[in-house]
């Protein structure tokens, strides 16, 4: 390890409202002891008083630029001395004694990287030797920044400990799917949850499932009927995947068994989240929208009702920038395309292409991000085990990273819909397909066609008999990239 010959000590007097900071005397003694152990001669002690922590004023940075910052003359003097080479090592007590403002940390990182000096801290929370040290410091400061505004920090500690050790937190109403003890599965209710999960993932709306449950006289825990809210809460709960949650963040494996597996849980989160944001709306009446293209102008066809449930057509809607010149009968076209898609689903080469997955650059990059985050999670837990960070810091940093992994995973799932895997895994592909909702059918069709470099079908103008008479020869496969063979 790099050694210092002229080290600086940074200690900070805090007004210490949280009652957990060491006094300046102890900080200095501990930091001095660490410098002695490292064999770094200390040439200067920088003592800061942060009673003015929220007063800002203009500061001149090492590169000469001016910014509004918390007034920290001693910290600025330290940076200047590192920059000029008069200090070649830094010992601090704890990360939060060095920087509360992320921009102060960035200034320190800049200076330390330029001067290539070693940094150590008594609690081990600040080391800037590697990229992962720097990442940890950034996370630590972001968290300290957050928690300095959080008055109830210590009250939460007990819950945090319970949360991290994976025990049931007791209290409150019984959770649907589990007995009153919170850890024993209620098999009957667990079956309901699994069935509902499958139906949501197949594209059914939560409210239609609720109506069905009410009709079957299946009751929720306390109410007399289901609401979309109560069912959504259950399906989105990490609890049913055997995950312990604290403050809305997954903090680890729970002490109770899972009702659904992890991948189902992730798919549920992604699906319900997308619906809440108005994407992938479950109510899609006609699944060939966006799969049929006009043979005259190249616009996509959209469905329009001709009055009555079964009477509808797909046409190049002139009110939606189409030419209005092409239309085709709805039900027969759907039946034709349905047979085509089911045919694709039975072909070994198509299944092989789907199984390989779509290794586009985007999903490749996402996988890489997830791996990096998972690596960071392992490092974090090691740092916690070695007492380099506190439980609070561990739990919060973990929450931040897991949130990131969660959203990355949902973007991966958006690329390969779960319906496709479900359809492929079923024994009778045709039957499973028929049971799908329109939204799920469209997803499956687009994925299957996409794996073959296809976008859908081009519909040629009607030759004789008008659009109401179905003529399958008007439909031809459309290649990805807009080339269509009419
Ligand atoms: Zn057209």
Query: Within 10 A of 54 (CB to CB), how many other CB atoms are there?
Result: 9
Q: From CA 485, how far away is CA 473, in angstroms rounded?
A: 12
pLDDT of 161-176, one tens digit each?
A: 555 555 555 556 788 9
The answer to whether 457 and 337 have CB atoms below 8 angstroms apart is: yes
What spacing in Å lies between the alpha carbon of 453 and ligand 1's midpoint?
Answer: 23
pTM as predicted: 0.36
Q: Give the CA-trace dihedral at 124, 125, 130, 135, to 10 degrees.
A: 160
Distance 314 CA to ligand 1 centre (A): 11
Residues flanking ion ligand 1, Cβ below 5 Å: 294, 296-297, 299, 316, 322-323
**Cα distance between residue 217 and residue 328, in whole Å:** 43
Tell whether the model's pLDDT for residue 68 goes beyond 70.
no
Q: How far apart are the first and last CA of the chain?
A: 70
For residue 244, the cross-strand partners are 252
Residue 63 has pLDDT above 70, yes or no: no
**Predicted confidence (pLDDT) at residue 367 exceeds the cutoff of 60:** yes
Cα-to-centroid distance, 433 and ligand 1 (Å): 30
Q: From ligand 1's centre to the CA of 331, what distance in Å? A: 20
Distance 300 CA to ligand 1 centre (A): 7
Tens digits of per-residue pLDDT, 263-315?
888 888 888 887 776 654 545 567 887 789 999 998 888 888 776 556 788 88
In 101-145 the beta strands, taken as DSSP E runs, fall at 119-121
Percent of the chain with pLDDT over 70: 71
**Residue 460 CA to ligand 1 centre (angstroms):** 10
C-alpha closest to that of 397 among 191, 142, 176, 213? 142
């Amino acid at each position: 390890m790099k050694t210092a010959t002229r080290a600086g000590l940074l200690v900070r007097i805090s007004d210490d409202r949280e009652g957990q900071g060491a006094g300046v005397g102890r900080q200095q003694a501990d930091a001095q002891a660490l410098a002695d152990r490292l064999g770094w001669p200390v040439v200067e002690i920088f003592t800061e008083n942060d009673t003015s922590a929220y007063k800002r004023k203009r500061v001149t940075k090492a590169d000469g630029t001016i910014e509004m910052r918390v007034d920290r003359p001693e910290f600025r003097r330290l940076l200047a001395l590192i920059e000029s080479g008069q200090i070649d090592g830094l010992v601090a007590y704890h990360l939060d004694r060095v920087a509360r403002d992320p921009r102060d940390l960035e200034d320190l990182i800049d200076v330390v990287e330029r001067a290539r000096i070693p940094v150590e801290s008594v609690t081990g929370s600040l080391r800037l030797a590697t990229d992962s040290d720097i990442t940890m410091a950034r996370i630590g400061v972001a968290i300290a920044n957050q928690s300095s505004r959080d008055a109830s920090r210590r009250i939460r500690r007990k819950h945090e400990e319970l949360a991290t050790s994976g025990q049931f937190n007791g209290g409150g109403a019984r959770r649907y799917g589990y007995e009153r003890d919170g850890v024993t599965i209620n098999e009957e209710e667990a079956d309901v949850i699994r069935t509902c999960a499958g139906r949501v993932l197949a594209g059914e709306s939560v409210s239609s499932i609720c109506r069905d449950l009410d009709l079957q006289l299946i009751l929720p825990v306390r109410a007399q009927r289901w609401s979309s809210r109560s069912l959504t809460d259950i399906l989105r709960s990490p609890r049913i995947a055997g995950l312990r949650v604290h403050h809305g963040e997954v903090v680890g494996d729970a002490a109770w068994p899972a009702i659904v597996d992890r991948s189902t849980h992730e798919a549920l989160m992604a699906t319900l989240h997308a619906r809440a944001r108005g994407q992938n709306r479950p109510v899609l009446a006609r699944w060939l929208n966006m799969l049929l293209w006009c043979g005259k102008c190249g616009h996509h066809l959209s469905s329009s009702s001709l009055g009555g449930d079964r009477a509808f057509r797909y046409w190049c809607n002139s009110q939606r920038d189409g030419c209005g010149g092409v239309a085709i009968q709805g039900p027969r076209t759907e039946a034709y395309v349905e047979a085509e898609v089911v045919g694709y689903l039975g072909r070994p080469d198509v299944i092989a292409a789907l199984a390989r997955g779509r290794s586009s650059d985007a999903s490749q990059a996402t996988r890489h991000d997830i791996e990096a985050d998972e690596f960071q999670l392992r490092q974090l837990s090691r740092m916690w085990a070695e007492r380099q960070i506190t439980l609070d810091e561990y739990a919060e940093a973990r929450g931040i990273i897991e949130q990131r992994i969660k959203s990355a995973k949902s973007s991966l799932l958006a690329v390969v819909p779960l319906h496709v895997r479900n359809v492929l895994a079923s024994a009778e592909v045709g039957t499973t397909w028929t049971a799908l909702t329109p939204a799920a059918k469209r997803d499956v069709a687009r994925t299957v066609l996409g794996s073959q470099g296809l976008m859908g079908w081009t519909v040629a103008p009607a030759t004789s008999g008008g659009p109401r008479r179905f003529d399958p020869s008007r439909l031809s496969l459309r290649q990805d990239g807009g080339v269509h063979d009419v």
